[in-house]
Amino acid sequence: MGALNVIVLVSLVYVAMLFCVAFAADRAAARGRGTWLRSPIVYTLSLSIYCTAWTFYGAVGFAARSGLEYLTIYLGPTLVMVGWWWTLRKMVRVGRSQRITSIADLISSRFGKSNALAVFVTVLAVIASTPYIALQLQSVTISFAAFAAVDPTHTGEISETGVALWVAIGLMVFTILFGTRNLDANERHHGLVMAIALEAVVKLCALLAVGIFVVWGLAGGVEQTLARIDQSAIARWEVPGSRWVGLTLLSAAAFMCLPRMFQVMVVENEEEGHLRTASWAFPTYVMLMSLFVVPIAAVGLDLSPAGANPDLFVLTLPLENGQEGLAVLSFLGGFSSATSMVIVAAIALSTMVSNHVVMPVWLHMTGGSAVVSGDVRAVAIRARRLSIMVILFLGYLYFRVSGGGAALAAIGLISFVGVAQFLPALLGGLFWRGANRRGALAGLAVGFAVWMYSLFLPSFGASAVMPQGVLENGLLGLAWLRPQALFGAAGMDPVVHAFMWSLSLNIVVFVFVSLISFPQPVERLQGAQFVNVFDHSAPSGGWTGGLVQSEDLMIMAQRIMGAQEAQALFGEVAREQGMSGYLPEPTPDFLSRLERSLAGSVGAATAHAMISQIVGGASVSVQDLMAVADETAQIMEYSSQLEMKTEEQARTARQLRQVNEKLTQISVQKDAFLSQISHELRTPMTSIRAFSEILRDGGEMPPEGQRRYASIIHDEAIRLTRLLDDLLDLSVLENAQIVLNLEEGNLGALLDRAETAAGLSDNSMTVGRDAGADQVRLYTDTNRLAQVFINLMSNARKYCDADAPRLDIRVAERDGMLLVDFIDNGSGIPAGQQGTIFEKFSRVSENKAGGAGLGLAICREIMARLGGGVEYLPGQTGGAFRVYLPVAEAGAAEAAQ
């Protein structure tokens, strides 16, 4: 059997094994088992898709041409990984918390979910990656050709395009099978990552094996190898500084920006902690990958015939030295490098193409009527598969068109410069809140244009795409626009030249446009979320199985629903799932049920955000935040209503307390009143009883004595009657049972009447009146009003203690009230008693003869009924009372007439 057949067979067996590994890993992941799938080592190995066939074969070729310069391609990523704390940590955190699916998604999410930006990044990524995919197909093809060349049984040329086609189809099938199995929200592909990790091991082992064979097998030891290097064409350290620094920066930039690197580094990341391991493990991997490159190159240059392709030394050295087994291993290493790169690149690009190009177009065409979720899922998967086919076909097409002639490394670097254009938008978006969409778009457009003009189009060769004249004399004959000597920067390496100009102009335009334009609200919100991601998002949770998540959910639910309710709910679900205890599996049913329960407490959007934070490891999106804000507003409104109600209740309680106090006072007053009244009634009754007993038992008593006693009894009976009359009167007044007899009257006449009735007309007291002011019309119950006047006048007569008693009656009108003041020239009422004189049974002094102390109380009640009042007027010449009643009553009288 010939070597070619062996190689075909081995490839097929190898691919079948990869299928099995991917399938088994997917099954294990689906069953929630296989924590080994989530180990940091697998993550680190998956990062090794950075080392494509270009680095596997091409690095040796690179070293054979330019010595140690090939190291820059590894040193850049090493520095990025070692500096993971600066950038990668943030990228991964943002990617996880925002459910980022690709680098286009990251950039567009950061800049306000702009689809224009996403489409632009997607197109740029496809243009930059297609040659790279073609490169992988080419490397597999030429490695087949290398085997065919030494196969004695094989006659004639093998069809390069045929091999490339079959490889492309095989990769297409594999990618579609394992890359589009599910539309997982987190876009993780366990089986695929596992297969890639396995391929990483194969390519490392292959390169190390070839290196060991070359050093100890061919060269005869370390010292001899070093001697050969010293004697070879690459013995001198002659790397130009610009290329050394420029290519290191370029590879560092590309490492962060390549869509496939973003896919494995951010999207497929299981846990942030893996990055910590990868920070030293990945540099170790690439260091080992590059360890034997210079020895292989030097020995290859020494042993191979002149004109041999140094890109294939890794394969040809074992092959030509009779180590077919090693050659097959080496072939598998290159094959692994090529296939893993193509698969991941195809997945990353197809995700971008379907999410940002196909789906929006489809939704637009169907008028956005896709309300059925299953419908969209099917379309999305079909779009993804279609995109994979298109991308691989494009790669194949590029390979056919370009003819596979160019040196491998050249295309790789051109592609790197293309994707490096994402760097300003990526880092600016992560670290600068002022970066905005217009800036990112403008920067990307300028960088892309410069890359196309100065590197990509000239790379097809003179006159292929770009006319020779433009290449030599610049666009429109302007010398400073020469593609490879922009702005007079002649004599630079084309790649470094293009990298420098495209990235510099990209950054300048990005920053400038960001500074002068104003971002949209969503952009600003997303900007804050991205830049301050460590303030907002929790470090990613364990992802180490269902129970931990359930426990987290339980802790959260207890906090919100209360411990007992939460335990009851969890316990019930656990029993339904046939488990004991309180921690059920976090099935979708259970989660939606829990979400509904929580929504009752905190609102639907908040509940959703909380659960997804624990289960999905994702933070809230803008829409979530807005929904939360709405709910919060509702809750705040509700709580303000509650607050109002509480205030009202407090008010009512205060009022109730006041009423209660009043009632207590009234009860006390009632008791006092009863004791007073019994006292008042008892005094006359006692004397009546005593004197009537004397009369009954008197026997011999002179008639004048009998008359005296009888008159005392009579007086006391009259006093008693008057007291009872007063009490009755007061009771009627207080209970508002009084019927007012409203009639027209004249104040002067009323006062005259009262004066006579009060006994003031006997000149015992001088009465001062202003006859003119008295003439006021009244419309009121004149009899009642006269009663008040009489009471006040007789009080003045009784209590005025002046030598020449005098009563002044003044009438005035103020604020719609008729004021009648009764002012005597006595000593007045002591200040301490002024407040109580209107109360029942209150008397100014006990020694003065008088009534029961009901007079003023009755006055007060009468005046209240008449719509006015009576009050003591302090600060006058003596005792002073003011009676007031509304003038409107008087006016009404006129109207009535």
Neighbours of 382 (CB within 10 A): 14
- Select the span of 286-294, 582-590, 710-718, 790-798 touching other proteins (CB under 8 A): 286-294
Cβ closer to other proteins: 144 or 285? 285
Number of Cβ within 10 Å of residue 666's Cβ equals: 11
- Dihedral angle computed from the Cα positions of residues 257, 260, 264 and 265, in that order, rounded to the nearest 10 degrees: -10
| Nearest CB to other proteins, comparing residues 80 and 267 | 80
Q: How far is the CB of 273 from other proteins (least distance, A)?
A: 7
Per DSSP, helices labelled H in 474-562 are 494-516, 521-531, 533-536, 546-561
- Note whether 7 and 229 are within 8 A (CB): no
Asked if 681 is part of the footprint of other proteins (rule: CB under 8 A), the reply reads: no
Paired residues of 810 in beta bridges: 821
- Measured from the CB atom, the residue of 161 and 558 that comes closer to other proteins is 558
Of 186, 304, 601, 876, which lies in the binding site for other proteins, with binding defined by CB under 8 A? 601
Q: Pick the binder of other proteins from 10, 15, 24, 68 (CB under 8 A).
A: 68
Stretch that binds other proteins, among 254-262, 277-285, 569-577, 742-750 (CB under 8 A): 277-285
CA trace torsion 152, 400, 312, 409 (10° rounding): 180
| 369: number of Cβ within 10 Å | 8
Eight-class DSSP state of 839: S
| Residue placing its CB nearer to other proteins in the complex, 80 or 796 | 80
Is the Cβ–Cβ distance between 450 and 441 less than 8 Å? no
470 binds other proteins (CB under 8 A): no
The least distance separating other proteins from the CB of residue 479, rounded to whole angstroms, comes to 31
Contact status: 294 vs other proteins (CB under 8 A): yes
Q: What amino acid occupies position 295? A: P
Min separation Cβ 66 and other proteins, Å: 11
| CA–CA distance, 388 with 396 (Å, rounded to integer) | 12
Q: Which is nearer to other proteins, 243 or 810 (CB)?
A: 243
In this complex, which beta carbon is closest to other proteins, that of residue 629 or of residue 659? Answer: 629
- If the CB atoms of residues 68 and 749 are measured against other proteins, the closer one turns out to be 68
Segments in 603-697 forming alpha helices (H):
604-615, 622-697
Residue 822 belongs to what H/E stretch?
strand 817-824
* Contact between residue 314 and residue 334 where contact means Cβ atoms under 8 Å apart: yes
Instruction: Please identify, using beta-carbon distances, which residue of 467 and 562 lies nearer to other proteins.
Output: 562
Question: Can you tell me the distance from the alpha carbon of 18 to that of 350, in angstroms, rounded to the nearest whole number?
Answer: 21
Asked if 749 contacts 789 with a C-beta cutoff of 8 angstroms, the reply is: no
Look at residue 803 and give its three-state secondary structure: coil
Rounded Cα distance between 262 and 121, Å, is 13
Residue 548 near other proteins by CB under 8 A: no
Residue 531 near other proteins by CB under 8 A: no
Residue type, position 679, single letter: H
Q: Which is nearer to other proteins, 50 or 398 (CB)?
A: 50
Per-residue buried b or exposed e for 177-190, using 16+ beta carbons within 10 Å of the residue's own CB: bbbbbeeeebbbbb
In the complex, what is the shortest distance from the CB of residue 331 to other proteins, in angstroms, rounded to a whole number?
Answer: 27
Q: Is 543 left (phi over 0), alpha (psi -120 to 50) or beta?
A: left
Nearer to other proteins among residue 87 and residue 504 (C-beta): 87
User: Which of 153, 284, 544, 761 touches other proteins (CB under 8 A)?
Assistant: 284
Using rule CB under 8 A, residue 235 touches other proteins: yes
| 518 touches other proteins by CB under 8 A | no
Q: Is the separation of the CB atoms in 34 and 25 below 8 Å?
A: yes
What region, left, alpha or beta, does residue 418 occupy, with left being phi > 0 and alpha being psi -120 to 50 degrees? alpha
Nearer to other proteins, 34 or 273 (CB): 273
280 binds other proteins per the rule CB under 8 A: yes
Nearest 5°: CA angle at 841, between 837 and 843? 50
Q: Helix (H, G, I), strand (E, B), or coil: what is residue 407?
A: coil
Element housing 811 (H / E): strand 806-814
> Is 328 or 609 the residue whose CB approaches other proteins more closely?
609
Of the pair 84, 881, the CB lying nearest other proteins is at 84
Q: Which range of residues in 64-72, 367-375, 462-470, 825-833 is near other proteins by CB under 8 A? A: 64-72
80 binds other proteins (CB under 8 A): yes
Pairing of strands 806-814, 766-769: parallel
Site for other proteins in 345-404 (CB under 8 A): none
Is residue 620 part of the contact set for other proteins (CB under 8 A)?
A: no
Question: By CB under 8 A, which span of 280-288, 300-308, 378-386, 511-519 interacts with other proteins?
Answer: 280-288
By CB under 8 A, the count of residues binding other proteins is: 48
Q: Which of the stretches 82-90, 432-440, 668-676, 721-729 binds other proteins when contact is defined by CB under 8 A?
A: 82-90
Of 104, 653, 603, 48, whose CA–CA distance to 337 is shortest?
48
Is 84 one of the binding residues for other proteins (CB under 8 A)? Answer: yes
Q: Among 31, 306, 491, 535, which residue interacts with other proteins (rule: CB under 8 A)?
A: 535
What distance, in Å, lies between the first and last C-alpha atoms of the chain?
A: 140
561 part of the interface to other proteins, by CB under 8 A: yes
- Cα diameter, the chain: 179
> Smallest distance from the beta carbon of 615 to other proteins, in angstroms?
17
Residue 873 within binding range of other proteins, rule CB under 8 A: no
The residue from 75, 192, 197, 733 that contacts other proteins (CB under 8 A) is 75
Q: For residue 82, state whether it binds other proteins (rule: CB under 8 A).
A: yes
Q: Which stretch binds other proteins (CB under 8 A): 43-51, 80-88, 494-502, 514-522?
A: 80-88
776 φ, ψ (degrees, to nearest 5): -120, 135
The amino acid at residue 279 is: S
Question: Least separation, in Å, of the C-beta of 248 and other proteins?
Answer: 7
Q: Is 431 in the site for other proteins (CB under 8 A)?
A: no
- Report DSSP letters for 855-894, one per residue: HHHHHHHHHHHTT-EEEE--SSSS-EEEEEEEHHHHHHHH
Q: How far is the CB of 833 from other proteins (least distance, A)?
A: 58
Letter for the amino acid at 496?
V
Q: Is residue 86 close enough to count as binding other proteins by CB under 8 A?
A: yes
Report if residue 536 touches other proteins, rule: CB under 8 A: yes
Chain centroid to CA 557: 20
Q: Is 248 in the site for other proteins (CB under 8 A)?
A: yes
Residue of 25, 171, 229, 338 interacting with other proteins (CB under 8 A): 229
600 binds other proteins (CB under 8 A): no
- Closest separation in Å from C-beta 257 to other proteins: 17
User: What six digits make up the tokens of 281?
Assistant: 């493990």
Among 31, 156, 157, 236, binds other proteins (CB under 8 A): 236
- DSSP state for residue 69 in the 8-state scheme: G
Which position among 13, 212, 220, 238 is part of the footprint of other proteins (CB under 8 A)? 238
Residue 602 interacts with other proteins (CB under 8 A): yes or no: yes
Q: Which is nearer to other proteins, 291 or 685 (CB)?
A: 291
Asked if 181 contacts 41 with a C-beta cutoff of 8 angstroms, the reply is no
Q: Which amino acid would we find at residue 427?
A: L
Tokens of 367: 């008028």
Q: Radius of gyration over alpha carbons of the chain, in Å?
A: 54
Can residue 637 be called a binding residue for other proteins (CB under 8 A)? no
Q: How far apart are CA 138 and CA 131, in angstroms?
A: 10
Contact call for residue 630 and other proteins (CB under 8 A): no
Contact region for other proteins (CB under 8 A) — 46-54, 274-282, 427-435, 709-717? 274-282
Q: Which of 31, 237, 365, 700 binds other proteins (CB under 8 A)?
A: 237
Q: Which residues bind other proteins (CB under 8 A)?
A: 67-68, 71, 75, 78-86, 226, 229-230, 234-239, 241, 244-245, 248, 273, 276-277, 279-280, 283-284, 287, 291, 294, 534-536, 538-539, 559-562, 601-602, 635
